[in-house]
Amino acid sequence: MAKLNWGMIGGGKGSQIGPAHRMGAHADGIFSFTAGALDIDAEAGRAYAAELGIESDRAYANWQDMLEGERNREDRVDLVTVATPNNTHFEITKNFLEAGFNVLCEKPMTMTVEQGEEIVKIAEKTGKICAVNYCYSAYPMVREMREMVRTGQVGKVRLVVTNFSHGHHGDATDADNPRVRWRYDPAMAGVSGQFADCGIHAMHMASFIAGDQVRSLSADFASTISSRELEDDAMVNFRMENGTVGRLWTSSVAIGRQHGFDIQVFGETGGMRWMSEQPNQVMYTPVGGRTQIMEKGEGSLSDEASRLSRVAIAHPEGFPLAVANIYVDLAAAIRGETRDGLPTAEDGVRSMAAVYAAVQSAKDDGAWVDARPSIYR
Ligand SMILES: NC(=O)c1ccc[n+]([C@@H]2O[C@H](COP(=O)([O-])OP(=O)(O)OC[C@H]3O[C@@H](n4cnc5c(N)ncnc54)[C@H](O)[C@@H]3O)[C@@H](O)[C@H]2O)c1
């Protein structure tokens, strides 16, 4: 089968997420990296593209040139990844979708709920794929938890408790570092800092595993480093459509915590826990029974967890291979197959609605606010 052509915007040299996309897209030999506008600095982007083996006529100075350059090619890119800072996602995604490209956009998908709703409508109208990189949902053992909920192994989910709290922006003397600063600058990050950066991953995962959607929430935000306009710590309580109760803590000043993403799901007949720093295991406790450690690669796991694990039992499979699972399912979707679980523009706009609800709630002393986008009310 011929490889699919892949292009990326952003993800330049030294960026945080660029390498994960490159490894993810290449891991299964499905995509060929053929085009890019990799850096805000045109020359740096073109030089890096050359280093990565992209032909010079497809190493573009910016995304507008890439759109024009690729639009009429017979071998144009089958998929465009948008890995730039948040304030550019909407414009780039919208323009590429409208020109008939499939897009994988980094989170948060847009800066406003209205922009998110527009992207959903454009994707529906054009029939093109718009995926959003909620890559943690593609870890094999996260899929196992989802299957356990779906098949009733923990009963109805009563409670989801999740943290995405790290300490990497906890040094006040580093607050002016340009790679840190944009995340707390409303002009580049939007209305929320840490909740929109990390909290939405945790909220997406709560919905993904519980098979339920967030309906309303109450939030408390804090900017613990006073020069920051946006929050670097948030506590969010939420309620889901089917009655699941959610508790979420997200922070970037929790010094000593490293990646710090974990989720616990408590059902009527059992509880489960997954931690991103030990992603190969799920702890499972049936009501009245002993705690068991379930391991990626065990023969008894669901088809879905087995499908997304390609390395033998006990060998670590980490973040780049979770991103690779998103690319595997995108390739299948581009080739016309249906893949359940691929995060889409619907997830992107639901996150934006939750972000705006949390900002409003935090301003109103934690008042409960409807967290659904108007198109899903
Ligand atoms: N899914 C995840 O787990 C995850 C993890 C980290 C970051 N992200 C998201 O990825 C995005 C990028 O974050 P990052 O941490 O890699 O940022 P970064 O600041 O480390 O890198 C951004 C890159 O984009 C380039 N860039 C900026 N504007 C551009 C433009 N207009 N055109 C082309 N290139 C441009 C920069 O030169 C740089 O190479 C953000 O939206 C962030 O929220 C997602």
Q: Is the pLDDT of residue 34 over 90?
A: yes
Per-residue model confidence as pLDDT tens digits over 69-119: 999 999 999 999 999 999 999 999 999 999 999 999 999 999 999 999 999
The pLDDT score that the predictor gives to residue 285 is 98
Q: In what order do the strands lie in the sheet with 261-267?
A: 292-295, 281-286, 270-275, 261-267, 157-165, 245-251, 233-240, 214-222, 369-370
**Rounded distance, CA 154 to CA 294, Å?**
14
Q: Where are the domains of the chain?
A: 4-135, 137-302+344-363
User: Residue holding tokens 């409960």?
Assistant: 368
**CA of 12 relative to ligand 1 center, distance in Å:** 8
- Mutate which of 21, 40, 355 to test ligand 1's pocket (most atoms within 8 Å of Cβ)? 40
> SS3 breakdown of the chain: % helix, strand, coil, rounded to 5?
40, 25, 40
**Across all residues in the chain, what is the average pLDDT?**
97
178 Cα nearest atom in ligand 1 = 19
| d(CA 301, ligand 1 centre) in Å | 35
Query: How far is ligand 1, taken at its centre, from the CA of residue 303, in Å?
Result: 33
Question: How does pLDDT run across 158-196, given as a tens digit for each residue?
Answer: 999 999 999 999 999 988 888 898 899 999 889 999 999
Residue in the block written with tokens 């995926």: 131
For the full predicted model, state whether its pTM sits above 0.95.
yes
Best of 9, 15, 66 for a ligand 1 pocket test (most atoms within 8 Å of beta carbon): 15
Pocket perturbation via mutation, ligand 1, pick of 9, 13, 17 by most ligand atoms within 8 A of CB? 17
Cα separation, 241 vs 239, whole angstroms: 7
Alpha helices by DSSP H, listed for 151-251, are 178-181, 186-189, 194, 200-210
Å from CA of 107 to ligand 1 middle: 10
pLDDT band of 323, cuts 50, 70, 90:
very high
pLDDT of residue 48: 98
- Can you tell me the mean pLDDT for 199-215? 98
Beta partners for 274?
263, 282
Homologous superfamily, domain 4-135: NAD(P)-binding Rossmann-like Domain (3.40.50.720)
- For residues 338 and 129, the answer to whether their CB atoms sit within 8 Å is no
Q: What is the pLDDT of residue 179?
A: 81
* Neighbour tally for 292: CB within 10 Å: 11
Residue 222 has pLDDT above 90, yes or no: yes
Atom of ligand 1 nearest to the CA of 319: 3
**Contacts for 337 with CB less than 8 Å, ≥ 6 apart:** none
- CA of 248 from ligand 1 middle (Å) equals 25
CA–CA separation, 202 and 354 (whole Å): 12
pLDDT tens digits, 273-288: 999 999 999 999 999 9
The atom of ligand 1 lying closest to the CA of 63 is: 32
Angle between helices 63-71 and 89-98 (to 10 degrees): 10
Residue nearest to atom 40 of ligand 1 (CA): 85
What residues are in contact with ligand 1 under a 6 Å CB criterion? 9-12, 15-18, 37, 39-40, 62-63, 83-86, 88, 106-107, 133, 135, 179, 197
Domain 137-302+344-363 architecture: 2-Layer Sandwich (3.30)
